[in-house]
Amino acid sequence: MQDDLNHLANHDPLTGVYNRRAFSVAAELAINHADEEAQPLSMLLLDIDHFKSINDNYGHDVGDQAIRALAATVRAVAPKNAVIGRLGGEEFAVLLPDTTLVQGECIAEGVRASIEKIRLQVPNGDRGSRRASG
């Protein structure tokens, strides 16, 4: 039960990634470690473009679908040691320990390309599926 409570306290309920508070703690630890060990550290900041229009045009269920899809895609593409957090709304951060700027740029491009492929199921089949933007 303690593990369940700990998970609830530290993870975003919609996506399962770290919430803002837990991500901030993890980031501080990682920054301190990188500084002490003289190791590289990179971070990605992600934001869903035009997110308000997704909610306004298709409803919050589709907005939630976009947020979950982005988190799942980042989890699938980011290195296993990445620390992923939802900072709020449609904003995410990905901490990349032991990652140089050049490596971080490559990872960022892979994440971007994968996000570009996300397709959302929208209500009222007349609109069809739409591409997520990020």
Between CA 45 and CA 47 the distance in angstroms is 7
Tokens 């589709």 found at? 62
pLDDT tens, 84-114?
999 999 999 999 999 999 999 999 999 999 9
pLDDT tens, 42-91?
999 999 999 999 999 999 999 999 999 999 999 999 999 999 999 999 99
> In the predicted model, is pLDDT for residue 17 greater than 80?
yes
Catalytic residue among 37, 90, 105, 109: 90
CATH of domain 2-131: 3.30.70.270
Q: Is 90 assigned a catalytic role?
A: yes
Q: Are strands 119-120 and 91-97 parallel, antiparallel or unpaired?
A: unpaired
User: What is the per-residue pLDDT for 126?
Assistant: 41
Between CA 86 and CA 47 the distance in angstroms is 10
Kindly compute the dihedral angle of the four CA atoms of residues 89, 111, 81, 17, in this order, to the nearest 10 degrees: 20
Q: Are 82 and 17 in contact (CB under 8 A)?
A: no
> In the predicted model, is pLDDT for residue 133 greater than 60?
no
Q: Where are the domains of the chain?
A: 2-131
